[in-house]
Amino acid sequence: METLLTAENIKKNYTIRKKTGLFKKIRINALDSFSIVIKKGFSTGIVGESGSGKTTLAKILAGIIRPDKGHIYYKNIDIYNKSNFKNYRKNVQIVLQDPYSSFNPRLKLITTFKDGYKIYYKNKSDFYKKLDSLLENIGMSKDDLFRYPHEYSGGQRQRLSIARALMLDPDIIIADEPVSALDVSVQGQIINFFRSLKQKAGKSIVLVSHDLAIIKYLCDEIYVFYKGLLLEKGTKKDIFDNTLHPYTKMLIKASKEKLFTTTYYENTGYCPFSNRCNYFNDKCKDIIELVNLSNTHCVRCTLFL
């Protein structure tokens, strides 16, 4: 299967000022030494609780923020290579969690679409042809675009932002929590739309979510994160039928109970999950390398050394 996007050893820190204590600055490891390979027509799930670094990763893969360290290659060429960047930006599109913030509130949708794509579509009729076919796919028509963003429902806005992401016919669509802000009743529509993009249009989907049920439904390969560190990676079967990491087990259990917490990670050198893990032992005081248990499944946990 053709490899489209590769990220190698990505690292991203943020420095924040702690509210308590005098001018204490802390460095958050939003992402640590992370690598990923996105293949054509394949769907990849990124899962972890809030604060795990998922949005940071999605934005790095989409070229919106630059990592502190590491490289990203689109079709084997560094994305920050000038000659590649335009091609990469056209082919890797991102859909964000809150579709309201991704449209200019003062412009009618039709203007946003027209302005955004006039440099790519020199020919007006090509532009409208593409627009019409995409709108049809999401159950809307051009007449529906003569409104301002706030006049649409959350579900409509998210469908429109997906349509916008597809205007340039990208290879890869990165979706960061695309249904978390939506009513449960419309979540299914959007998720099925992503599924058809993969199955019918052969797009690669990178789905970021804290909801394992959605990941399970849509993704071929799954990366499990905690506090910026990849703890387990495998095929859907590896992750759900042969769950290894205590954290992944907890997530699967919690997905049934919907229990999630928000935390950040100050680098202590310990396994980030150690303070919540029932299997904590002295070996967990070091962060260990990922251990490959098969050619698809790997885990970062002292239980599998």
Q: Residue 203: which residues within 8 A CB-CB, separation 6 or more?
A: 41, 170, 171, 172, 173, 197
Among 4, 5, 10, 30, binds ligand ADP (CB under 6 A): 30
159 touches 138 (CB < 8 A): yes
Among 43, 44, 52, 102, binds ligand ADP (CB under 6 A): 52
56 touching ligand ADP, by CB under 6 A: yes
User: Shortest gap between Cβ of 38 and Mg ion (angstroms)?
Assistant: 19
Q: What are phi and psi of 69, to 5 degrees?
A: -140, 160
Among residue numbers 259 through 278, which ones bind ligand ADP (CB under 6 A)?
264
Residue tagged 């412009």 (tokens): 107
16 touching ligand ADP, by CB under 6 A: yes
Q: How far apart are CA 24 and CA 17, in angstroms?
A: 6
Give the burial string for 254-292 (b: 16+ CB within 10 Å, else e).
ebeeeeeeeebbebeeebbbbeebeebeeebeebeebbe
Number of residues lying near ligand ADP (CB under 6 A): 13
Stretch that binds Mg ion, among 24-32, 47-55, 134-142, 280-288 (CB under 5 A): 47-55
272 binds, among ligand ADP, Mg ion, none (CB under 5 to 8 A by kind): none
14 binds, among Mg ion, ligand ADP, none (CB under 5 to 8 A by kind): ligand ADP
190 touches 217 (CB < 8 A): no
The token pair at 89 is 């930006």
Among 51, 99, 149, 246, binds ligand ADP (CB under 6 A): 51
Among residues 131, 176, 132, 187, the alpha carbon closest in space to that of 154 is found at: 187
The residues facing 174 across adjacent strands are: 94, 206
Stretch that binds ligand ADP, among 47-55, 106-114, 124-132, 199-207 (CB under 6 A): 47-55
User: Shortest gap between Cβ of 49 and ligand ADP (angstroms)?
Assistant: 7
For Mg ion, which is the closer residue by CB, 48 or 301? 48
67 touching ligand ADP, by CB under 6 A: no
Among 29, 55, 91, 112, binds Mg ion (CB under 5 A): 55
Stretch that binds Mg ion, among 6-14, 52-60, 124-132, 210-218 (CB under 5 A): 52-60
User: Shortest gap between Cβ of 49 and Mg ion (angstroms)?
Assistant: 10
Give the H/E segment covering residue 215: helix 212-218
The residues facing 8 across adjacent strands are: 71
Stretch that binds ligand ADP, among 49-57, 104-112, 189-197, 288-296 (CB under 6 A): 49-57
Residue number of the CB atom closest to Mg ion: 55
113 touches 131 (CB < 8 A): yes
Among residues 225, 220, 223, the alpha carbon closest in space to that of 29 is found at: 225
201 touching ligand ADP, by CB under 6 A: no
User: Shortest gap between Cβ of 103 and ligand ADP (angstroms)?
Assistant: 21
SS3 assignment, position 112: helix
Cβ atoms < 10 Å from Cβ of 195: 14
Residues in contact with Mg ion by the rule CB under 5 A: 54-55
Residues in contact with ligand ADP by the rule CB under 6 A: 14, 16, 28, 30, 48, 50-56, 264
